[in-house]
Structure formats: structure tokens, C-alpha cells
A and B are shown apart, each in its own frame.
Chain A
């Protein structure tokens, strides 16, 4: 009794309110942190690449919505997101990153732009948050020893190149038939477009064909001179490494100069309906590589149509685009992100994860064909097997031909020549590590996970 009287009133009041504040803030922290995993989206719905942006982010959001509506989130953890418009411009992407990076419970960044991804590598490595560049990005970030937080999932640009050359080889009757042949690569004048220049040169040396690489300045709505050069060069095949409006213009101009569409092979960003439909008849017979088939017949798409669009929460304005290439890529991207979160939750608990925990989830993301089927995505994509040092995850590709109305798959699931590419990737990655004084990460270090939520420096 006596002691209490001795405490000055002011001090007691302070102690009480402090205790109260701690309990209140403690409880709010818990309820807030217990049930949300956040996806910051640097989307682009206007500008020259809006078709890709609306389809991809539409599919991604549709899948997150499906998980929320059908399953109540991932093991009870709700998935949330916020969008910031980038128009595919680097500085806008950086601005959106700075705007959203302090949101609690960030799972991963998915900018769908090589330029923006490049600008974020330093930043997200410091924040310890994964950066997903599905089917694109910096090839040497496949090497998880040097880039712990960057994931060019399913197909990095070099694997894509290898698969395309293999496909052309089989069309010619075997890889040895490539010898003495001539190929032209028509590439988009951007970091993304240039990424594969050295690997085409290397494969040309290996297989004895000649390759001429021609740039189309961004955005690519004028290609007369490039195609006249191609007509003079008379190549066996043209590889179209385009993006956005460049693709239909390329196909139309090819027809104008008399180059047959069935000898143009599109890369993974020249493979959508939006790339061929504007070209009309000229695109008939055009073949493109893809990691995910198009069409809405897959169970996961049927569920999205029923559950998400049925509830009026679908993200695509034009329902005809459901099941299109970009929409399906967004859905596959959603599956990979959500499954990485699920994988990490099995280890760290069913709660909001830190960026580093999700990174661990991505590094243990294994979806074999059986699991893919269980997810309702059989034949939509093949499989993935990401490890701590292979951040691509051995994705398979297939080829599809445009018949004027829709894409038809014309090949099996094909594996790129990973064994050939790995040493090249490691060489480039270790060069980057030396230049930036980065210690190569070991398997043991990859297992060490930061479970403290990230707080941005002020």
C-alpha cells in the first residue's frame, strides 16, 4: 500500500497508459499481420503495351480472387494487392515500388518489365523480397548463388532461344541441318529485346548457321526498312523477338515484302492473340513458342469463370479474352506465386510471411505434373522445379500455330538445352558478382531465413 502511494501520480498514470498502449498496439499488430499477404502490382493498362499488361495482370488478379473466394485465402491468409500504373516506363515503376514497398506483408514483386526489374534488383535485395520475372528478365539471375531474390520463373531468355533453335532444327530435319543455313532475329529495341543477342551468336557458332540480328526501335510501328533488309538476306527462318505493337506490324510487313508467315517463329512475347489478330490473314500459319497453352477449357479457368466472373469480380473488361495467352500467363503466374506462399507456409506457419520466407518458398517450389493436375492446370503448363541455385525451375515449352482464329498446339512439351546453357549463365553471374563484390551464396546460407518483417529505412 505504502509503495503505491509513493509513486507520483503522474508517473503512475504514464505507466498505466504505456501498458495500455502496448497491449492495444500489440493486438492490432497481431490481427493485422495474421491474415494478409500483399502483392504490389506495377501494372500497365495504358500505353503501347496495354494489351500485355491488362491480360497478364487481369489473369493474376483473377487467380488471387479465385483463391480468396473459393478457399478463403491460402490456409486462411487473405491475399491482397494494390496496383500502380507504370505504362512500362522505368521511372514510373520505381515510383510505384517506392510507394508500395512499406506495405506490410509483401509476398513478391511481379513487374513484367525487364527495365523495371533491372532497376529493382538492388532495392529488393536490400529489402529481402522476391522479384518474379516470369518468362523474361535477366538471364543470369537464374543463378541463385548470385541473385538470391530474383526469379526468372519457367523460362529465361536463353532457354527460350535454345528451344526456338531446337524447334527450327527439327523443322529442317535435325539440328545438323542447321549448318550453313541463315537465320534473322528481329528484336525489340529495349533491354528485353537485346538480352539474347550473345546467345544467338553462340548457338550460331555451335551449330554452324549464320545469324543476322536486326533491331526494331521501340515501339516498332514502322519496320519497312528492316523487312527489306530481310528480303535481301533471304533467311531460312526469321525469329520474331517482339513486344506489343511491334508484332502485328512485323507480320503485316513480312507479307508486304513477300516473306512467308510460316517461316517466322515468334518468341514468348510474340505469341498472343493481340499479336496476330490485328495482322488478319497475314498471320495464318505463324508459329510461336509458349510456356502455357491458350484456351479456357482447363479446370482452373472454368472455376475462375464460374466463381470469379460469376460473382462479378472478374478483372478483364472483355470477357472474350478469358483464356487468351496473356490471361493464361497471368493465371500461371498467380499459381506459381500462390504455391510459393503455400510452400513457405508449410515450413513457417499459416500466417503472414516475410519477404525472405516467401523467397524460401520460391526456392522450394516444386510442382510436378500430378500437382499441376490437382491445381486444375493440366496441359495449361507442364511443371516447375525451382531450387536455391536454379531460379528458373526447368520450365517446359511448346509451340503453337495460329490458324486465323485460334492457337493450336503443334508440338509436345519440349525441354530447352539446360546443360548447354548453365555454364554460360554461371559465367555471366559470377562476372556480375565480381563486379559488385557479391559473395557467392551457399546452400546452407539459402536455408537461413529472416523471419523479421522488413522495415524500410527512413
Chain B
């Protein structure tokens, strides 16, 4: 806790970031920036924060993130539809709790399984949820095509339906939950997570309640991922179908935390930026530069090549993820004053 070790106090960079996110971006951004880049980025980052608590900190591999997102989205929709007068925030919290309950159920195998075997058992969550949401049309209010329309975003009579409103709505929820997650990893519970991850037997010996810790990790992670799913549906797409939360999405979130940096809250945001935002930028640059000469299919394929090689490059340059790369870069550019 040697604050003078750094030239800047620790609180400065998050505060500066928040000031930009709340104060500067709404003034300068276009609706494309908010609706197509920032809102999906925020929702995916939040899901990655949730998964990082489970996988990065507590060491439990899960391939069912998209399922918990779907549960969150559909639960929020149904609470909002069926309970009249329920505030939107309350349905979001309830949706998170439904995802929590399901997360605990599908976390039970973790009491006996580890590593790849656990990953395979979480696949069951992925397939089961997708199947159930498609099979029982009650979940989508008997809509024949199984697609739900998101309700308008109103909190205390104030509408968040403009593109800036949607962005601020998503941003606020992400900031609150990320803040709580950051706080959590500094507490005893957070340390228990890491103890379980690093050596289960040793953790048990020093008195960490291993079973409870694992289930707690599943519960908290599923809550955050569930809320992220509701954000994805309500603030970003404004419509949701179960197929939108397929295995590809689960893999995407796993890759986000691997590339961003395991066991790092910031890593989730770095990873989401590379995997969700960067392809968009690449595609726009590509179509701007070469759009007249190639059709969109060729461009799309070449973007995948570029993105794939970049991922390989980044992981070779820094196996601990983008966040470690970033810290190294920062140390080089801003040398510590007390380092000679």
C-alpha cells in the first residue's frame, strides 16, 4: 500500500476513465458509436467480468456463459411482462437471481469434477437452456417465431430509449457491478477463490470452505452474466432469440478472458475490446480502403485472417493476456519515479 511508489494515486485512472465515459463520450460520440460499438462492448465486458470471477479467480472452467446470459435475458423479459408495475431495475435484479439459481445447480458438478471435465459438464447447461427456451414457448410469450421484443427502458418515469440513454443505462449497470466485483476480489472471499484455484488441498488445510466457495463463485458469476445477458437483449439488440445465445457466444466470452487476461477485472474489458470492437473497426477500415474492389465476403474472410494472426501475436508477446501487455507498456512509457 505504498501510494508514493507510483506517480499517480491509484484512484486516478478509474476516475479519469469514468469521467471520459460519462462526461466526454456523450458529448462527442455518434449514435453508431453508442449503439453498435459501446453498448455491445459493455454487455460482453460485463459477461466476461462474471466469467473471470469464476474461471480466472476461482479456477472453475465454464462453457455455459451464453446459457446464463440467455436465462438473464428471458427472465428479465418475463418478469417485466408478467408482473405488472415491476420496475425495470427490479426485473434486472430478479433476472440475475434466476441465473444465480441455475448457476448453482449447474455448479454442483464442480464439487467432484475439475478442469476439462467440468467444462464439459457446463456444456450441459448450454444445451439444456437453449433447448428449454426453444421447446417451451411460454418463455417467449407464445410468440410463434420465438423472438421476444425488449420493453422500453424506463426508470422512475425517465426514458433511456435514445442511443445515449441506452449507453448510459448499460454503462451505469456495468460500472456498479464491476465495482462490486473489484471489491469482492480484495475481500477474504476473493482470496478464498484464488486459494481454491491454486491448490484445493492446501486451501482445505488452511480452513477455506472449498465446497461453499465454489458454489459461491458459480452464484456470483452467474448473477453478473445473467444481468449482462439482459443488457445485451434490452439495451443492445432490443430483440432476443435463443439462438443468439449459442455455444459460439460462450466460446467468445471464454476467449475474451483468456486474451484479456485471466484473474483480472480489467482484462475482461481489454479482451472484449479486441474480440468485439476491433473486428468492427477492422471491417470498417477494410470496406473503406478496399470496398470498391472486393465484395463483402472476401473482406470478411480477410478480416478473420488479420484478427487471428493478431491474437496469436498478442498471446506470444504476452501469454498473460492484454492486461499484462498493457502494464508492461505503461511501465516502459511512464517509469516509476523511485526507480533509478
A residues at B contact (CB < 8 Å): 43-46, 50, 54, 82-85, 87, 90-91, 94-95, 98-99, 102, 114-115, 118-119, 121-123, 138, 189-192, 194-198, 215, 218, 315, 436, 456-458
A43 to B, closest residue via Cβ? B296
**Residue in B30, B145, B237, B301 whose beta carbon sits within 8 Å of that of A194 in the complex:** B145
A90 to B, closest residue via Cβ? B244
Given A94-B36, A99-B36, A122-B238, are A190 and B244 neighbors across the interface (CB < 8 Å)? no
A123 to B, closest residue via Cβ? B238
A87 to B298, CA, bound (A): 12
A215 to B144, CA, bound (A): 13
What distance in Å separates the Cβ of B81 from its nearest Cβ neighbour in chain A? Answer: 9
A118 and B32 form a contact (CB under 8 A): no
Residues of chain A lying within 8 A (CB to CB) of residue B298: 45
Q: Does B283 contact A (CB under 8 A)?
A: yes
B145 and A90 form a contact (CB under 8 A): no
Residues of chain B lying within 8 A (CB to CB) of residue A196: 144
A115 to B, closest residue via Cβ? B241
Given A46-B301, A94-B36, A95-B36, are A198 and B144 neighbors across the interface (CB < 8 Å)? yes
A189 to B147, CA, bound (A): 12
Given A119-B238, A191-B147, A218-B243, are A91 and B40 neighbors across the interface (CB < 8 Å)? yes
Question: Can you name 20 A-B residue pairings with CB atoms under 8 Å?
Answer: A45-B296, A50-B297, A83-B287, A83-B296, A95-B36, A99-B36, A99-B284, A102-B30, A102-B31, A102-B32, A114-B145, A114-B147, A115-B241, A119-B239, A123-B238, A189-B134, A195-B145, A196-B144, A315-B295, A457-B162
What distance in Å separates the Cβ of A279 from its nearest Cβ neighbour in chain B? Answer: 24
B241 to A, closest residue via Cβ? A191
A192 to B30, CA, bound (A): 32
* 8 new A-B contacts at CB < 8 Å, known A90-B239, A191-B241: A91-B244, A94-B236, A98-B36, A114-B145, A192-B145, A195-B144, A197-B144, A458-B164
What distance in Å separates the Cβ of A387 from its nearest Cβ neighbour in chain B? Answer: 25
A457 and B163 form a contact (CB under 8 A): yes
Residues of chain B lying within 8 A (CB to CB) of residue A84: 283, 287, 296
A458 and B300 form a contact (CB under 8 A): no
Q: Does B146 contact A (CB under 8 A)?
A: yes
A189 to B30, CA, bound (A): 36
A435 to B, closest residue via Cβ? B149
What distance in Å separates the Cβ of B250 from its nearest Cβ neighbour in chain A? Answer: 15
Residues of chain A lying within 8 A (CB to CB) of residue B295: 45, 83, 315
Q: Does B35 contact A (CB under 8 A)?
A: yes
Q: Does B307 contact A (CB under 8 A)?
A: no
Given A99-B284, A189-B243, are A90 and B300 neighbors across the interface (CB < 8 Å)? no
B297 and A458 form a contact (CB under 8 A): no
Residues of chain B lying within 8 A (CB to CB) of residue A198: 144
Most buried by A among B239, B243, B299: B239
A50 to B295, CA, bound (A): 13
Q: Does B290 contact A (CB under 8 A)?
A: no
B246 to A, closest residue via Cβ? A218
Interface size class for chain B?
35 or more
What distance in Å separates the Cβ of B82 from its nearest Cβ neighbour in chain A? Answer: 13
B residues at A contact (CB < 8 Å): 29-32, 35-36, 40, 134, 144-147, 149, 162-164, 236-239, 241, 243-244, 280, 283-284, 287, 291, 295-301
State the main secondary structure of chain B at its contact with A: helix
Given A46-B297, A85-B299, A91-B40, are A456 and B238 neighbors across the interface (CB < 8 Å)? no
B237 to A, closest residue via Cβ? A119
Residues of chain A lying within 8 A (CB to CB) of residue B238: 119, 122-123
Given A46-B301, A84-B287, A85-B283, are A98 and B31 neighbors across the interface (CB < 8 Å)? yes
A118 and B147 form a contact (CB under 8 A): yes
Residues of chain A lying within 8 A (CB to CB) of residue B40: 91, 95
A65 to B149, CA, bound (A): 37
A99 and B32 form a contact (CB under 8 A): yes
A94 to B36, CA, bound (A): 7
**Residue in B32, B134, B147 whose beta carbon sits within 8 Å of that of A215 in the complex:** B134
Residues of chain A lying within 8 A (CB to CB) of residue B241: 90, 115, 118, 190-191
Residues of chain B lying within 8 A (CB to CB) of residue A99: 32, 36, 284
Given A45-B296, A84-B296, A99-B32, are A91 and B237 neighbors across the interface (CB < 8 Å)? yes
What distance in Å separates the Cβ of A124 from its nearest Cβ neighbour in chain B? Answer: 12
A82 and B291 form a contact (CB under 8 A): yes
What distance in Å separates the Cβ of A357 from its nearest Cβ neighbour in chain B? Answer: 23
**Residue in B144, B146, B300 whose beta carbon sits within 8 Å of that of A45 in the complex:** B300
Residues of chain B lying within 8 A (CB to CB) of residue A121: 149
A87 and B300 form a contact (CB under 8 A): yes
B35 and A98 form a contact (CB under 8 A): yes
A118 and B297 form a contact (CB under 8 A): no
A197 to B295, CA, bound (A): 36
Residues of chain B lying within 8 A (CB to CB) of residue A192: 145
Residues of chain B lying within 8 A (CB to CB) of residue A436: 149
A118 to B240, CA, bound (A): 9
B300 and A85 form a contact (CB under 8 A): yes
Residues of chain B lying within 8 A (CB to CB) of residue A118: 145, 147, 149, 239, 241
What distance in Å separates the Cβ of B134 from its nearest Cβ neighbour in chain A? Answer: 7
A54 to B300, CA, bound (A): 14
**Residue in A54, A122, A215 whose beta carbon sits within 8 Å of that of B297 in the complex:** A54
B146 and A194 form a contact (CB under 8 A): yes
A387 to B162, CA, bound (A): 32
Most buried by A among B146, B163, B236: B146
A46 to B304, CA, bound (A): 12
A392 to B109, CA, bound (A): 52
B162 to A, closest residue via Cβ? A457
A90 and B297 form a contact (CB under 8 A): no
What distance in Å separates the Cβ of A251 from its nearest Cβ neighbour in chain B? Answer: 24
